């Protein structure tokens, strides 16, 4: 594996470096196809002249046009803010055959190229989490975040999953939690708590259900927390924590609590192993039972 150039300047450890991992096409809006309304060859010519760089002539015309016309400007703005707030750098993951220079030239269109310190070539979705984990280990990186449309939370812990390309304003606050090494999670048989500097911030109750070899957690989001803190980011942090622990296979949440205006943590639903029930109905136990059956059907298919 190629070592990041940042770590080849006589230093063997850079544990304080903040790194944001994003995919080479993660900032492109899905299914908008705005680029189809434009002459992509003229776009290529325009960019070559504007930046006085013939590298844009080498990039696939469709890929270049997508990056120019279908970019998610909200996500770009949030990434820029995160880079500035946390003095972070970008590591790009890419599974296509573009050169490093071509990838950097695409990010140059939005002023992000100077933040790129390395590019990891991955084979496919399945290998990406291992490639990132190997890179983090090889470069002694402790503080990092992974933004991706796939759910790598269980494998990487520091990951967000966004089903669409768009990041959210809340991701800025949540990123601070992931970069914060003072956070600590403690858990007993009925409660999970989040502490900062050994002070309890939030406490959530849960009930465990065992089905064969699966551990299903019914989590109650009716919380008790220190009101000097914002609540929703910490709840989402705990949910993400639970999705990545090896002893939790699936989580049940009350859909009314998820969409409560005071919480607004619908992003938690982006995880593959989260299911919702409606606890305001009288058939809560029946819903839980049906959820368990659905989980078992999905699980049985996945192991065949």
Would you call 274 helix, strand, or coil by DSSP?
A: strand
Would you call 264 helix, strand, or coil by DSSP?
A: coil
Specify burial of residue 15 (Cβ count, 10 A radius: 0-12, 13-18, 19+): exposed
Residue 277 pLDDT: 61
Percent helix / strand / coil, the chain, rounded to 5: 40, 25, 35
Number of helices (H), then strands (E), belonging to the chain: the values are 11, 11
Q: Which among 39, 30, 22 is positioned nearest to 71, based on CA atoms? A: 30
159: left (phi over 0), alpha (psi -120 to 50) or beta: beta
User: How many Cβ atoms sit within 10 Å of the Cβ of residue 237?
Assistant: 21
Residue 12 pLDDT: 34
What are the residues whose beta carbons fall under 8 Å from the beta carbon of 271, sequence distance 6 or more? 151, 153, 161, 239, 240, 243, 251
Residue 133 pLDDT: 87
Residue 280 pLDDT: 53
Would you call 122 helix, strand, or coil by DSSP?
A: coil
Positions of the chain with pLDDT lower than 70, given as ranges: 1-16, 125, 151-155, 157-165, 181, 212, 222-232, 243-246, 255-304
Interval 73-109: pLDDT, tens: 988 998 999 999 889 999 999 988 899 999 999 999 9
Q: Which domains does the chain have, with CATH numbers?
A: 12-29+71-179 (3.40.50.1000), 183-303 (3.40.630)
Distance CA 304, CA 302 (A): 6
List helix spans (H) across the chain. Answer: 40-50, 55-58, 61-69, 73-85, 100-108, 125-138, 153-156, 170-179, 232-244, 255-258, 284-303
Residue 223 pLDDT: 57
Residue 251 pLDDT: 79
């Amino acid at each position: 594996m190629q070592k990041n150039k940042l770590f080849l300047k006589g230093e063997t450890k850079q544990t304080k470096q903040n790194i944001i991992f994003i995919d080479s096409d993660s900032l492109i809006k899905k299914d908008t196809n705005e680029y189809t309304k434009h002459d992509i060859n003229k776009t290529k010519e325009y960019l070559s002249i504007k930046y006085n760089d013939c590298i844009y002539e080498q990039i696939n015309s469709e890929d270049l046009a997508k990056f120019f016309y279908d970019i998610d400007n909200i996500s770009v703005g949030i990434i820029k803010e995160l880079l500035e707030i946390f003095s972070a750098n970008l590591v790009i993951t890419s599974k296509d055959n573009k050169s490093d220079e071509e990838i950097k030239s695409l990010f140059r269109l939005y002023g992000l190229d100077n933040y790129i310190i390395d590019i990891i070539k991955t084979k496919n979705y399945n290998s990406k989490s291992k490639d990132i984990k190997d890179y983090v280990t090889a470069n002694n990186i402790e503080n990092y975040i992974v933004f991706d449309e796939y759910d790598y939370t269980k494998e990487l812990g520091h990951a967000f999953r966004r089903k669409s390309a768009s990041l959210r304003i809340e991701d800025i606050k949540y990123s601070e939690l992931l970069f914060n090494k003072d956070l600590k999670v403690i858990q007993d048989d009925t409660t999970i708590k989040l502490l900062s500097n050994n002070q309890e911030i939030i406490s959530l109750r849960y009930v465990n259900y065992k089905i064969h070899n699966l551990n299903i957690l019914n989590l109650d989001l009716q919380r008790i927390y220190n009101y000097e803190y914002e609540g929703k980011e910490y709840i989402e942090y705990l949910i993400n924590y639970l999705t990545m622990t090896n002893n939790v296979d699936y989580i049940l949440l009350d859909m009314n609590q998820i969409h409560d205006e005071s919480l607004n943590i619908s992003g938690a639903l982006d995880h593959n192993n989260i299911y919702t029930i409606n606890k305001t109905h009288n058939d809560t136990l029946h819903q839980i039972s049906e959820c368990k059956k659905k989980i078992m059907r999905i699980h049985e298919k996945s192991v065949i």
